Amino acid sequence: MNASLHALEVVAEKSSGAPSRARVLSIEGSDPIGGAGTMADMKVFTAHGVYGYAVMTSVLAQNTQGVTDIVNMEPGFIRAQLDAVSDDSDIDSMKIGMLGTVEIIDVVREWLSGVLERAAAGEIAKPFVVIDPVMYAKSSDALLTPEAEQALRSVLPLADVITPNIPELAALTDSQPASSWDGMVDQARDLAAAMNIGVYAKSGMLTMKGASDASDVLVMPGDTGDEPLALRIPGHAISTSNVHGTGDSLSSSLAALRPQKSSWSATALAAKEWMTGAIAAADQLHVGKGHGPIDFTWKHAPTGLSFSSDYWNRVEPVRERIASMPFIEALLDGSLPRDAFNDYLHQDDLYLSDYTSLLALASSRADTIHERVFFAGAARGSVESELGLHRSWFLDNGYSPERARMSEVTAAYIGHEHRVADQGRYSTLAAVVMPCFWLYAEVGRTIASRAVSLGLDLDTHPYGSWIHAYADDSFNSAVAQEVAICNRVAAAASIDEYNEMMDAALISSEHEYRFFAQAGE
């Protein structure tokens, strides 16, 4: 068999196997701000690695401050959308959210009943069904007419799991809203037993009343008619007002994760963990003037910025302190005592002598030949050149480095870098050494630009040769290469690895500031 024919057979075999991703349907209204409804569901599906279908039940004029108008789809058109999906494609799981009217509810119930009947007959695989019973807003305001609420109750028994909030749970059990964890669990048990479905009860409104615990509960119906067991889904309260669309996102997370998990319990635990992270990251989005959305991409891409841009934004407070530190002022006006400068150079000498070993280690761990050459060259070139300048200065100024010891500041900086290097990752090693390149260059840029603005005569200035050295063009080229390496590695990193890179770089940045600041003390 020739190689080309064999390759074609391999492709055919892969094409005829299981799908690469679960296929999940959202039946929902829209949200033009992107934090709830269909738009949120699609983001959740992508975040959880599934392929999303969408049937839109209504179109809303909505933002983070509220809903100003709504247009419900014609029931016949909703049915046409549902049939278009189910007639053509397999559905592994589905999330049903805002339905809005009796007519829409009737259409969805009829269609879903047909799908489940086909599954029971063995014609298709049964999809998992999650229903978010959108009846009450977080404000406890009713979102359905009494007739529509009654119609919705007829759809819920078709679900595997429903996700009521506190007012919805109370309405579905004909009770007063729960004011305690035990009360919520009791109502969830009653509802699970009455409808023979799973109930994921959301405790968010209990948390709003001051509780620090934000655990939810999952109750699945018992097979023997015994009282359903309640599983606590651990969670903690997060201080934020940016919770727009959390109900939609929780239910769509359950729908997306269930085909990938072994049970509803495992699914619920994973969904809650993901939701907690997405809520915790919400404040950084800066979307809207009201209750903003959660950060759907928190676990995949921490930012739409490059690693270097993200770092540069986060390190701004350190950069501001560097720009105004006494070391720069005293160096520029020549008032920095010669002994203080000598001591600074000696600490730099000690630091850079160790730094070369980190660059050599980075060269050995690099996964491209270009980066191996870069780090090896940086160790031999830029650093050794600077060490040579130190030695020349010491000789010219009669300074003996042996009389001074390594400072606590220098030792702490070196210790941090080696702790990161000992983790064994190339990515974090590249990140931990980056500030020494970049912030050193930033100090040089600041000093050089200030020298020009002050009109200093560097030929007669006591530190003129060093001010020239700080603005070295070849060093700036090395900075650009190191930054590009961090961007490349970060782009392929997991969220955990990205965060480890950022933490390593930010801590190095604080050490870098303290290193310069010790010279002005």
**DSSP assignment of 419-439:** HHHTT--HHHHHHHHHHHHHH
Number of H helices, E strands in the chain: 21, 9
Tell me the CA distances in angstroms from 301 to 282, 297, 336, 344, 491, one per residue in order.
14, 6, 45, 40, 8
Instruction: Output the six-digit token pair for 126.
Output: 């049964």
Distance CA 301, CA 442 (A): 27
In the sheet that 128-131 helps form, which strands lie side by side, from edge to edge? Answer: 66-72, 51-63, 23-29, 93-96, 128-131, 161-162, 198-201, 216-219, 230-233
User: For domain 23-284, which CATH number applies: 3.50.30.60, 3.30.565.10, 3.40.1190.20, 3.30.1200.10?
Assistant: 3.40.1190.20
pLDDT digits (tens, 9 = 90+) for 86-102: 999 999 999 999 998 99
SS3 31: coil
| 42, 44, 48, 52: CA torsion to nearest 10 | -20
Is pLDDT of 263 > 70?
yes
When pLDDT is averaged across residues 312-339 and rounded to a whole number, the result is: 87
By mean pLDDT, which of 1-5, 133-137, 195-199, 426-430 is the weakest?
1-5
pLDDT digits (tens, 9 = 90+) for 416-432: 999 999 999 999 999 99
Residue 322 burial by Cβ neighbours in a 10 Å radius (0-12, 13-18, 19+): buried
Query: Which stretch of DSSP H or E encloses residue 346?
Result: helix 338-365
Measure CA 161 to chain center: 27
pLDDT digits (tens, 9 = 90+) for 194-217: 999 999 999 877 755 555 788 999
Tell me the CA distances in angstroms from 420 to 77, 315, 413, one per residue in order.
58, 19, 11
Share of the chain above pLDDT 70, in %: 86
Position 1 confidence tier, pLDDT thresholds 50, 70, 90? very low
pLDDT of residue 17: 63
Query: What does the mean pLDDT of the chain come to?
Result: 86
The domains of the chain are located at: 23-284, 307-520
What is the DSSP-derived secondary structure letter of residue 211? -
Is pLDDT of 332 > 90?
no
Determine the Cα angle at 88 with ends 86 and 94, to 5°: 35
Q: Which residue has better confidence, 181 or 143?
A: 181
Report which of 271, 233, 280, 276 is spatially closest to residue 252, judged by C-alpha positions. Answer: 271
Q: Which CATH code for domain 307-520?
A: 1.20.910.10
Distance CA 305, CA 500 (A): 17
When pLDDT is averaged across residues 95-123 and rounded to a whole number, the result is: 96
Is pLDDT of 26 > 90?
yes
Cβ atoms of residues 271 and 257 within 8 Å:
yes
| pTM as predicted | 0.66
Is pLDDT of 507 > 80?
yes
Report which of 301, 304, 285 is spatially closest to residue 243, judged by C-alpha positions. Answer: 285
- CB atoms under 10 Å from CB of 458, counted, come to 14
Report which of 172, 103, 170, 90 is spatially closest to residue 131, judged by C-alpha positions. Answer: 172
pLDDT digits (tens, 9 = 90+) for 174-190: 999 998 899 999 999 99
Residue with tokens 């800066």: 286
pLDDT of residue 459: 80
Contacts 24+ apart (CB under 8 A), 265-270: 265/218, 265/220, 265/231, 268/200, 268/216, 268/218, 268/231, 268/233, 269/233, 269/234
Domain 23-284 and domain 307-520 have a common topology? no
Is pLDDT of 153 > 70?
yes
- Residue 253: phi and psi, rounded to 5, are -65, -45
Position 14 confidence tier, pLDDT thresholds 50, 70, 90? very low
pLDDT of residue 225: 53
Is pLDDT of 404 > 80?
no
Report which of 139, 154, 160 is spatially closest to residue 109, judged by C-alpha positions. Answer: 154
